[in-house]
């Protein structure tokens, strides 16, 4: 079965650089969630999209922005990177049924900021 | 605000021992409950979920969990663990309605180490 695809899998950036993370949801999934997992921590919700519109926003810095495109893939744009942004960034997708959705996670993008 | 608390941060067991990981959540409305597992260096995989119905749910790899509404708990169990169960386990909840949009709130995670 098709899974959530994230690219790149690994990314190394310098401080103050920008990064773009991509997420391709499972086919026919219209909802995408982004989570950040710092070293030894639990995943923290960043932002979500439903039908290409932002549906919820969590603890996402103003330096980050995201969008969902017409083909339902999503991109997380990160600017002015800081050392503390080093983390594993997960994308999850879920299908249309509202209220009883299971989120399926991608393999994550491991970002290292030097 | 919703919150999830996992009682055990680090559990060490011998193979064939029984496992129970505690999870309590705080939320006054209707929630969906999940247990995810994260093997070293890998992504989160769904072990099992509870939406409604029978409060005892069975998942993959012999895991099960029981939802006790009165205790706001969703404990994970396995009768006999294997070395391959060594991983990080996350309890998570989400809610819909009243401004909730399905985002998952995770517990702090429990690291399970199974000794061969």
Q: What tens digit of pLDDT does each residue of B30-58 get?
A: 889 999 999 988 889 999 999 989 999 99
Across-strand partners of A110? Answer: A10, A88
| Interface residue ranges in chain A relative to chain B, Cβ cutoff 8 Å | 31, 33, 35, 41-45, 48, 50, 55-56, 58, 90, 92, 94, 98-108
Q: Give the pairing of strands B110-115 and B10-14.
A: parallel
Inter-chain CB proximity B97 and A99 less than 8 Å: yes
Contact A86, A112 (CB under 8 A): yes
Contact A36, A47 (CB under 8 A): no
Q: What is the mean pLDDT of chain B?
A: 92
Across-strand partners of A88? Answer: A37, A110
pLDDT above 80 (res B1): no
Mutate which: B8, B102, B109, B110, vs A, most A CBs within 10 A: B102
φ/ψ (deg, to 5) at A63? -75, -15
pLDDT above 80 (res B91): yes
pLDDT at residue number B4: 94
- Confidence band (pLDDT; 50, 70, 90) for B67? very high
Task: Say how many residues make up chain B.
Answer: 116
Question: Running DSSP on this structure, what letter comes out for residue B16?
Answer: T
Regions of chain A short of the pLDDT cut 70 = 1, 96-100
Helix (H) or strand (E) holding B14: strand B10-14
Cα separation, A23 vs A26, whole angstroms: 10
Contacts of A95 (CB under 8 A, 6+ apart): A26, A28, A29, A30, A31, A101
pLDDT at residue number B30: 81
The residue ranking higher by pLDDT, A102 or B65, is: B65
Cα separation, A108 vs A5, whole angstroms: 8
Query: B35-57: b or e for each residue (b if 16 or more CB lie within 10 Å)?
Result: bbbbeeeebbebbbbbeeeeeeb
pLDDT at residue number B42: 86
- Confidence band (pLDDT; 50, 70, 90) for B98? low
């Amino acid at each position: 079965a098709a899974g959530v695809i994230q690219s790149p899998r690994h990314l190394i950036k310098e401080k103050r650089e920008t990064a773009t993370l991509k997420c391709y949801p499972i086919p026919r999934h219209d909802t995408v969630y982004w989570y950040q997992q710092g070293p030894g921590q639990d995943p923290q919700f960043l932002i979500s999209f439903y039908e290409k519109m932002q549906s919820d926003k969590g603890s996402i810095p103003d330096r980050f922005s995201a969008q969902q495109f017409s083909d339902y893939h999503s991109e997380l744009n990160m600017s002015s990177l800081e050392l503390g942004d080093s983390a594993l960034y997960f994308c999850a997708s879920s299908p249309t049924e509202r209220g009883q959705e299971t989120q399926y996670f991608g393999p994550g993008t491991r970002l290292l900021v030097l | 605000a919703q919150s999830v608390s996992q009682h055990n941060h680090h559990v060490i067991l011998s193979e064939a021992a029984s496992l129970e990981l505690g999870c309590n959540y705080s939320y006054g409305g209707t929630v969906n409950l999940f247990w995810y597992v994260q093997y070293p260096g890998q992504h989160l995989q769904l072990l099992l979920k509870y939406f409604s119905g029978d409060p005892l749910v069975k998942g993959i790899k012999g895991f099960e969990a029981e939802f006790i509404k009165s205790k706001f708990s969703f404990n994970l169990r396995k009768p006999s663990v294997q070395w391959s169960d060594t991983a990080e386990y996350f309890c998570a909840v989400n809610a819909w309605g009243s401004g909730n949009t399905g985002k998952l709130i995770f517990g702090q995670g429990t690291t399970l180490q199974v000794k061969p």
